[in-house]
Structure 1
Amino acid sequence: MTSLVRKLAFATALVAAPFMAVTTASAEGEKYVLVSHAPDSDSWWNTIKNGIALAGEQMGVEVEYRNPPTGDIADMARIIEQATASGPNGIITTLADYDVLSGPIQAAVDSGVDVIIMNTGSPDQARELGALMYVGQPEYDAGYAAGQRAKGDGVTSFLCVNHTIQQPTLAERCQGFADGLGVELGAAMLDSGTDPAEVKNKVLAYLSANPDTDAILTLGPVSADPTILAVEEAGLAGEIYFGTFDLGDEIVKAIKSGTINWGIDQQPFLQAYLPVVILTNYHRYGVLPGNNINSGPGFVTADGLTLVEKFAGEYR
């Protein structure tokens, strides 16, 4: 049964219910669930929540945000299964681990739920699972572009601080950066963990053991914020080349001060906002963009901070 026919058949059966985290009221009856891999502690995802909230309000649909509190991918798989069982018109989900999540996502598609993959995964994986499309940043390509930029600035060696090494997509950022530089990744990728004190201490230890390191690449605020502190403590702020993925309050401050050279903005607001709009218009009017949507990468430097600084952590 197609999603449009299913909507007509079950429209009278949809009843508003309490939702977790972010929800908006629906006048049309559509219900969408966004499932992410993010733990509750990762504030970067507040922008995602703001994106679906605004889209839900503007489109007049219900939107629910669900995530595994600790970031456990197996727990996320169960959440996708639960979301599918609740009978939504669509599911928007990250694909942080294809091996673990492809089964539940495929099952949702097979049951007639329209799915859009966002943030992590790839267009090829989305197509393989039967999802409508992919909205996000091609991670390897973003890392490669960053590596080429750093190479042009004279960087020949680096440390990549990976705070969630079990997620393949983050490793792609490190590998892309190494390939863009034209060097081996090898031991340059540091398994830092997510505890801020541990991240800081591991970065300090690496820099002490490898004093010729030209640059540091962090993969988001979880690793960037404590690395900023490590660089400052080591007396290297403004001296060592420092790039990061994603934005946040501390990252913006560090770009402004010259500690960080640039941040890669994958525009998470669009990753959340656009799928809600696309699904709603698809179900109401049968229209669908013909291509996947790359939301990034875009490089943010000190010269372009006005709007970023104003909306960092909210819409940027």
Structure 2
Amino acid sequence: MRVTIKSIAEAAKVSRGTVDKVLNNRPGVSQPVREKVRKIAQDLGYKPNLAGKALAYQKNPLKIGVIILSKEDPFFNEVYEGIQKAYEELKDFGLLIETIFMNSVDVDEQLRCIKQLEEQNISALALSPLNEESIKKELIRLTQKNIKIMTFNTDLVDIERMCFVGQNLIKSGRIAGELIGKLLVNGGDVAVITGIEKIKALQERVEGFKEIIKEEYPSIKIIDIIKNIKDNESSYQKTMDLMKKYPHIKAIYITGIGVGGVGKALKELNRKDIKIVCFDKITETVDLLKEKVIDFTITQEPFMQGYLPIKILFDYYFKNQQPASEVVHTKLEIKTKENIDH
């Protein structure tokens, strides 16, 4: 038996008009009722008329806002490719995507981008949120306006986001720690070079690393954690200072940006003995891996971190389909010079 607006309304004990508003994403329904109707529709197996929805959205397009954390970090170029791929696949249904690249990775800039997209009447927002109370408050305010929030690459607690798409960050930090542990069979001193503290993903990578070193590698000592690296210039200088202060260091763990600067410093110092574990597959990392400056890099499918949030939001609005899970972990792979091109 076909599920109709009438049968959904009867099950939800609301009017057919209310169900119609919910299924077509129109205003005038409270958030609790909206979620109740969507759940009942999904439980009953309601199949929306995609052609009809596409026609409606072509007249009044569904607008999704996307904030990309950094225009300087080449990692996010591949994230953007994923966003564009999803858009190309779905644009004929009446989907519009407004993308903003942040000019700098700071709270005020992210707040500015959120405000700018809100003024463009977006229905949903996908972003890599900074871990700051003012950002949380702003995202909570948006959800109260029925603007759906998706997070990717880095998450944020205590907000009503639909879903997070990204690496299992604690696990990735633990894997990095295990790799360092295997490289330093006789133990030794290790330094951590990490990025901006307000990026929760980087904090979790450090946390996972510290966990496994403490649990399984007592002969390895973390002697320094260098924070707030923003680019290769700062990582280069900090690495030079680090090597001067700790000449007997055995390994460096890099949680994010700055790999090129670390590699440049170690090459200038001719420190081929230093073991390095880092993340991602940007050009400078691939080159340093092939030059045997880096031992391992851990990848995280940036393309899918751009593609999946758009696809999940499309399925929600056009198919009345909730995300299968609140967390979607992208694939984590360990790359060496032998498999970096695969």
- The residue that corresponds to 1:311 in the other structure is none
Aligned pairs for 1:47-58 (under 5 A) are 47-58=78-89
Partners of 2:60 and 2:290 in 1: CA distance: 45
Residue aligning to 2:181: 151
Change in CA separation of 1:195 and 1:271 when aligned onto 2, cut-off 3 Å:
closer
The aligned length equals 288
CA deviation after TM superposition for structure 1 residue 203, in Å: 0.3
- Residue equivalent to 1:304: 339
CA contact 1:3–1:283 (8 Å) conserved in 2: no
Change (3 A) 1:161 1:150: same
1:28 Cα deviation from its structure 2 partner: 8.0
Does 2:124 match 1:80? no
RMSD value over aligned CA atoms?
2.7
Aligned partner (choices 328, 334, 340) of residue 293 of structure 1: 328
Aligned to 1:57, what secondary structure does the other structure show?
A: helix
- TM-score, normalisation: structure 2: 0.76
Greater Cα offset, 193-202 or 56-65? 193-202
* Correspondence 1:68 to 2:68: no
Distance 1:55 1:299, change over 3 A: same
Residues 185 and 157 of structure 1: CA distance in aligned 2, closer, same or farther (over 3 Å): closer
Aligned to 1:313: none
1:103 equivalenced with 2:137 (yes/no): yes
TM-score (norm 1): 0.82
**Contact 1:194/1:223 (CA < 8 Å) preserved in 2?**
yes
- Does residue 129 of the first structure (1) align with residue 171 of the second (2)? no
Q: Is the 8 A contact 2:190 2:252 kept in 1?
A: yes
Structure 1 unaligned segments of length 5 or more: list them: 16-25, 308-316
Query: Alignment partner for residue 196 of structure 1, among 225, 228, 232?
Result: 232
Identify the residue that residue 45 of structure 1 maps to in structure 2. 76
Q: Are the counterparts in 2 of residues 200 and 229 from structure 1 also a CA contact under 8 Å?
A: yes
- Partner secondary structure for residue 96 of structure 1: coil
Misfit runs of 4+, over 6 Å: 183-186
- Tell me the secondary structure at the aligned position of residue 258 of structure 2: helix
Write the distance in 1 (CA, Å) between the matches of 2:221 and 2:197: 14
Spell out the pairing of 1:150-169 with structure 2 (5 A cutoff).
150-154=180-184, 155-169=187-201
Alpha carbons 1:243, 1:262 under 8 Å: kept: yes
Residue 35 of structure 1 corresponds to which residue in structure 2?
Answer: 67
> Which of 245, 255, 279 pairs up with 2:289?
255
Partners of 1:75 and 1:230 in 2: CA distance = 31
Matches for 1:239-254 after TM superposition, within 5 Å: 239-254=273-288
Counterpart Cα distance in 1 of 2:284 and 2:311: 31
- CA positional deviation for 1:228: 0.6
Q: What are the ranges of 5 or more consecutive residues in structure 2 without an aligned counterpart?
A: 1-17, 29-52
Instruction: Tell me how far apart the structure 2 counterparts of residues 151 and 27 of structure 1 sit (CA, whole Å).
Output: 58
When residues 7 and 181 of structure 1 are mapped into structure 2, their CA distance, relative to the original with a 3 A threshold, is: same
Deviates more, 1:59-68 or 1:182-191: 182-191
Correspondence for 1:270 = 304
8 Å contact from structure 2 (residues 252, 274) kept in 1: yes
| Paired residues of 2:64 and 2:126 also in contact (CA < 8 A) | yes
Q: 2:248 matched to 1:218?
A: no
